[in-house]
Structure 1
Amino acid sequence: MAIDDSPSSIFSPWPDRLRHAALILLAAALALSVVVALGELSLVRACAVFACIAAAALVPWRLHDATASREDVRGVNPVEANAVSAVVAGMPDPAVLLDRAGRVIHLNAAAAELAPALRKNELAQFALRSPEIITALREAIATAEPRRATYTDHVPVDRWMELVITPVPVPTQFGGTDKCMLMTFHDLTPLRRVEEMRADFVANASHELRTPLAALSGFIDTLQGPAREDARARERFLGIMHTQATRMARLIDDLLSLSRVELSAHVRPEASIDIVPIIRQVVDGLEALAAERQVEIDVDLPEAPVAIAGDREEL
C-alpha cells in the first residue's frame, strides 16, 4: 500500500488556513537554511526573518478564526433564543410574541388553543380575524405604543376577551435594539357572568320587594280611609299586612344570603307543598291594589289540597 508522505498529506488534518500557513513556514525555513548555509545571511538575521514570516502567516489565521466565531454568535437572533421562548411558554394567559412586521416569533400552548390558525413565522393578522384585534395590532405596530381591545369570541362558546399589546424592546442581531409586540389575551367571561348575575338578581329582588311593599301601602291607605271605623276589616287587613311584612323580612334575609340564592337557582325543589293557600295569600295581598285600580279578582279554588313540588317563598 502506497503512503503519501507529501507535506499536504502530513498537514491534511489541520484547518485549511492553518495548513497553508504551515506549508509557507516550511518553505521559508528551507529557503533560509540554504541562504545561511551559503553564507549569505547570518543565523540571527535568518531567525528574525523567519519570525516575521511566521507572524505574517499565523496572525491572519487567528483573526479569521475570531471573526468566524463572532459571526457564529451573531448568526443566532437573540429574540429567537430558547430563553425568550421559555418565558412566553411559561405565561399563564395566551401569549404571542410578534416582530415589527406582525409575524409570529413565539406562542405558548394557551395561545395555540385559543387561535389554532396561528403559525410561527406567519402574519398574525391572517389567523386572528376579529376586526378589533386587527385594528389594535396595526396601531401598535405603526406607533410602537401599547394598545387594548375587547372583543367577543363565539367559537366554541361565547366568551368575552381582552387583548393587551405591549411593545417589548429586544436586542437585534447586529447589536442594536428593536421593539417586538407581546400580545396577551385575558378571559373576561367570569367577570361578565358575575355582572349579569348581579344585575338580574337586583332586578328580581327589587320586583319581589315592590309587591309586598305596594300591598302594605294599599292597606295602610284603606285603614286610614274607608276602613277607619270598621273593626272587622281592620283586623283582617292587619293580619294580611303582618303576613306581607313577614314576607319582606324573609326576602331581606335572602338578599343578605346571596350565596344561598345562587346555589339554589337551578336546583330542582324536593319539598311538596299545597298551592291553594299560597294562591289565597297572593290574592289577599293584591286586594288593596285591585280595589284601587277597580279590578275584581275572581278566584275558583278546590276545597281539597293541591300538592306540587316547589319552594313556598319562591312561589
Structure 2
Amino acid sequence: MPNNDLDAAPSVQDLITAFPLPTLVIGRDEKIERLNAAAGTLLGENLVGRHFTTALRHPALVDAVERCLRDHTPREVSYQVVGGANDAFYDVHLQPVAASALLLLSFQNATDLAHAEKMRRDFVANVSHELRTPLTALMGFIETLRSSARDDAKARDRFLGIMSDEAERMNRLVGKLLSLSRVEADQHVRPTTELDLRVVLRRAQENLAQLARDGRVDVRLDSGQAPLQVIGDADQLLQVFTNLLENAIKYGGNDRTVDIITRKSAHDPVLRGPAMEIVIADQGPGIDPIHLPRLTERFYRVDGHRSRELGGTGLGLAIVKHILNRHRGRLKIASQPGKGAQFIVVLPLDA
C-alpha cells in the first residue's frame, strides 16, 4: 500500500535519483521506501518494501537508524566493510525529512580518506622509529662520556666517532624527508626543459666515482654518441640516476660490474608512445620477486639491518617514483635471487 508521507512528497524519488551519492529513504514502518541506482549498486537490488536491516547490517548503522526513527534527530555514523585487503569505509549521514516520518540516508565513500590517514599514521610512526634509534644511541653515549668514560681518551674517541655516524644518519634521513616533500609538491607540474640524458648520466657516474673505487666496482656507461633528448628537470633526473646507481654500487657487491644502458622503444605499452629506457643493472645477489611490488614504498627495506649499515633511509626509491610520475615516466624492476637486479627508468619521448 502506498505510504501517505510519500504521496505528500511526490518528488522524493526524483530528488534522490538526482543525488550523486548512494541514497535511500526509510519510512515510518522501518521499511525501505525509495533508493537511487547508486544505493542499489552499493547495497543490492530489490530492496524497496523490505525492512532496512535487510540491507543495513552493520550494528552501529542499525542503531543509528533506530535512534533517528525515534527522536527525529540528524546523525552521522561511519562503518567499515571488511573485504580482506580491500576494506571499504563509509560515512553515512542520516537526516529526518521535515514534516514526515521519513528518514533519508546518504552514503559517502571515505575509503581514500581512511587510507590517506593510515598512510599518515604509518609515516609518522616510521619516521619516529628511524629517529629514535640514533637518538637513543646518542643519549647513551653522552651519558657514558659524562660518567665512566670521562677520563678514558680511547673510549671517548671511539664514542665520538659513533656519535658522529649516528648524527649523520639522522641528517641523511631529514634530508631525504625534505627532498620527498619538495618532490611531492612539484609532482603535478610537468617539466618543460629539453635536455640530453647522456650529460645527466655522466654526471651521476662522476658523482659516484669514489664510491665505485672504494668498492672496486666497474661502472660502465653505454649511451652511444647521439644526444638523448628528453623533456625533463635535470636536477631531479640526476637525483633519480644517482640514487639508482648508488644502490647498484652498494648492494651489487664488491669487485663487480654495474652497467648503464640506454635504448629507445618505438612504443611503450604503458606510456602509449615512444620512450627512452635507461637500464641500471648490477651483478649482486638479486631480490626475491615477492619484494618487488613494494620496493618504492616509503621505508620499505628488503634487508633493513644491512640497508641501515650502508646508510639507506628507505626513502630513495619513493623519491624516484614521485620524480618519474612528474615526468610521466615509470620505473620497472626485474630481479631474481642470485641473478642481479635491473632498475629500468622509462621516460616518454613524445614531447
Query: Out of 72, 92, 95, which is 1:166 matched to?
Result: 95
Alignment correspondent of 1:65: none
Question: Do 2:92 and 2:106's aligned partners in 1 also have CA atoms closer than 8 Å?
Answer: yes
Could you tell me which residue of structure 2 aligns to residue 98 of structure 1?
26
1:2-31 alpha-carbon deviations (Å, 9 max, x no partner): xxxxxxxxxxxxxxxxxxxxxxxxxxxxxx
Q: Distance in 2 between matches of 1:235 and 1:134?
A: 67
SS at match of 1:274: helix
The reply on whether 1:77 has 2:76 as its aligned counterpart is no
Match of 1:46 in 2: none
Note if contact 2:21-2:107 (Cα within 8 Å) is conserved in structure 1: yes
Q: Match of 2:250? A: 274
- Structure with a larger share of its residues in strand: 2
How far 1:116 sits from its partner (Å)?
Answer: 0.6
Of the three residues 149, 152, 157, the one matched with 2:77 is: 149
Ranked by relative contact order (alpha carbons within 8 Å, sequence separation 6 or more), the top structure is: 2
Q: How many aligned positions are there?
A: 200
- Percent identity reads 37
1:179 counterpart = 2:155:
no
Ranges in structure 1 where 5+ consecutive residues have no aligned partner: 1-73, 170-176, 264-268, 278-304
Q: Gaps spanning 5+ residues in structure 2: where?
A: 188-242, 254-282, 288-301, 315-351
Tell me the residue number matched to 1:314: 313
Q: Within 5 A, what are the aligned runs for 1:38-49?
A: none
Q: 2:54 aligns with which of 101, 126, 138?
A: 126
CA distance in 2 between counterparts of 1:141 and 1:221 reads 64
Letter in 2 for 1:251: L
Q: What per-residue deviation string (whole Å, max 9, x for no partner) do you get for residues 240-292 of structure 1?
A: 322211111122234445658999xxxxx953243699xxxxxxxxxxxxxxx
Decide which of 141, 153, 160 is 1:219's aligned counterpart.
Answer: 141
1:200 is the counterpart of 2:122: yes
Offset of residue 200 of structure 1: 2.1
Q: CA RMSD in A?
A: 3.7
Instruction: Report how far residue 114 of structure 1 moved.
Output: 1.1
Could you tell me which residue of structure 2 aligns to residue 5 of structure 1?
Answer: none
Instruction: Check conservation: 2:61, 2:77, Cα contact below 8 A.
Output: yes
Q: CA deviation at 1:189?
A: 2.4
- What do residues 196-220 of structure 1 show as CA deviations (whole Å, max 9, x unaligned)? 2222222222221121112222333
Q: In the alignment, is the contact (CA less than 8 A) between 1:98 and 1:104 conserved in 2?
A: yes
Cα distance change on mapping 1:220 and 1:178 into 2, 3 Å: closer
Counterparts of 2:76 and 2:88 in 1: how far apart (Å)? Answer: 17
Aligned-partner SS, 1:178: coil
* Aligned counterparts of 1:127 and 1:186: Cα–Cα separation in 2: 16
Shift of 1:166: 0.7
Specify whether residues 231 and 144 from structure 1 end up closer, same or farther in structure 2 by C-alpha distance, changes over 3 A only: closer
Equivalent residue of 2:104, what SS? Answer: strand
Verify: 1:111 aligned to 2:33, yes or no.
no
Change in CA separation of 1:217 and 1:179 when aligned onto 2, cut-off 3 Å: same
Tell whether 2:17 aligns with 1:89: yes
Normalised by the length of structure 2, the TM-score is 0.47
